[in-house]
Amino acid sequence: MKLKILVTAGDGIGPEVTNEAIAVLRDVAALGGHTFDFDFKRIGGIAIVQDGTPLPADTLAAALDSDAVFLGAVGGNEFNSLSPDKRPEAGLLGLRAALGGFANLRPAFAFKELAVNSPLRPEIIDGADILFVRELLGGLYFGQPREWDRAKGEAWNTMRYTRDEVARVARIAFQLAGKRRNKLTSVDKANVLEVSQLWRATVIEVAAEFPGVTLEHQYVDAMAMHLMNRPRDFDVVLTENLFGDILSDESGVITGSLGMLPSATIGGKVNLYEPIHGSAPDIAGKGLANPMGAILTGALILRYSAGLEAEAAAIEAAARKVLEQGFRTADLARGNTKDFKVLSTTEMGTKVRETVKTMLVNA
Ligand code: IPM
Ligand code: MN
């Protein structure tokens, strides 16, 4: 297996966590006789500072020429006063649009070992395993027109979808549900928004192609509550861009830390992989960041871009094992150094790597 991976580590903790994930992927490649070629380019705040733009042309060209793009994080407080089109986030949004992936897969699952980290009671989250399919290229994020008319003191964005945009992401969600527990929850605001009525009607049409999957609809406000009250009732959750952004962060509560969660964006020319946590500038460069989200994102590269399911599963199993053994990064330990062995970013990376290696060698 040969894979050309472009790493855009970006800002804040992006570089340190992607480093750990890359080390895991290199070991997996060496053990299995695979060739993973890594190339590195700038994106986000670091690119604004060094290249004058959040998405330099050579980053974009390299991304389009790769088999997979692995992004760390973008953003930093020093850019907060810039307009949306100049900010680090614009680099990420431009990259998403150029790569064309419209289905952003965001798993949210409970780790038994991290149950104490969640403000939800253990009996509520135990066994929860949700896969969000967030539409990534439409809705308010990309809809035109958009503008802040300062003279008028008025601003507008547009939540806009075509039937085809909804149908293609719905198809992916139904297919994934078919490989899981055969349940799909589509989230909208069809009691108020026309765009949601189109969304719901289209999802119902697509459902006819997937008779084995049970479809239900939820309004986004109610869904925000159901996710906290009864997260186990959901399997695949399909939703538009902004709703998915919000609900996926909310669901970090189920896991107990956003630092654990990976994502994969599929359906376009080149798949894009990014952990869900942000750039966390307050802890960047201190060896405190949790590399698990990035490492588990590496597992998704193996699953969705390399077809190496056993290796992907080994990384996921290793992450669990390391938690079982009582190893925690500071964010996960939450000051409890008595019961846990608290590790730095690189120590945690090494621990997962050693565990993956043992699993693969003994497999
Ligand atoms: C995410 C992030 C991004 C988004 C930002 C950084 C543009 O919040 O991936 O969830 O809003 O999509
Ligand atoms: Mn977000």
Question: Which of ligand 1's atoms lies nearest the C-alpha of 93?
Answer: 7
Q: Which of 8, 74, 85, 245 gets mutated to test ligand 1 (max ligand atoms within 8 A of its CB)?
A: 245
- Counting as low any pLDDT under 50, the low residues of the chain are none
Q: What is the CA radius of gyration of the chain?
A: 20
Q: What's the pLDDT tens digit per position in 81-114?
A: 999 999 999 999 999 999 999 999 999 999 999 9
Is 219 a catalytic site residue? no
Q: Which residues pair with 130 in a beta bridge?
A: 108
Is 126 a catalytic site residue? no
Q: What is the DSSP string of 178-191?
A: HHTTSEEEEEE-TT
pLDDT of residue 198: 98
Which pair of tokens denotes residue 347?
């120590």
pLDDT of residue 336: 80
Any idea which residue has 């994102």 for tokens? 297
Any idea which residue has 């389009």 for tokens? 64
The answer for residues whose C-beta is within 8 angstroms of residue 211's C-beta and 6 or more apart is none
CA-nearest of 250, 245, 242, 200 to 224 is: 250
- Any atom of ligand 1 within 6 Å of the Cβ of 89: yes
Q: By alpha-carbon position, which residue is closest to atom 12 of ligand 1?
A: 245
Is 273 a catalytic site residue? no
Q: How far is the CA of 299 from the centre of ligand 2 (A)?
A: 20
pLDDT of residue 270: 98
Return the HEC string of 115-147: HHHCCCCHHHHCCCEEEEEEECCCHHHCCCCCE
- Any atom of ligand 1 within 6 Å of the Cβ of 264: no
Q: How far is the CA of 246 from the centre of ligand 2 (A)?
A: 6
Phi-psi region of 153 (alpha: psi -120 to 50; beta: other; left: phi over 0): left
Q: What's the pLDDT tens digit per position in 116-141?
A: 899 999 999 999 999 999 999 999 99
Phi and psi torsions of 142, nearest 5°: -125, -10
The answer for residues whose C-beta is within 8 angstroms of residue 9's C-beta and 6 or more apart is 15, 18, 19, 40, 71, 72
User: Which listed residue (11, 235, 245, 331) is catalytic?
Assistant: 245
Is 141 a catalytic site residue? yes
Is 85 a catalytic site residue? no
pLDDT of residue 338: 86
The answer for residues whose C-beta is within 8 angstroms of residue 12's C-beta and 6 or more apart is 73, 75, 76, 278, 279, 280, 281, 284
Q: How far is the CA of 245 from the centre of ligand 1 (A)?
A: 7
With contact defined as beta carbons under 8 Å apart, do 163 and 198 qualify? yes
- Any atom of ligand 1 within 6 Å of the Cβ of 235: no
Q: At what angle do helices 14-32 and 345-361 cross, to 10 degrees?
A: 20
pLDDT of residue 339: 87
Q: How far is the CA of 280 from the centre of ligand 1 (A)?
A: 13
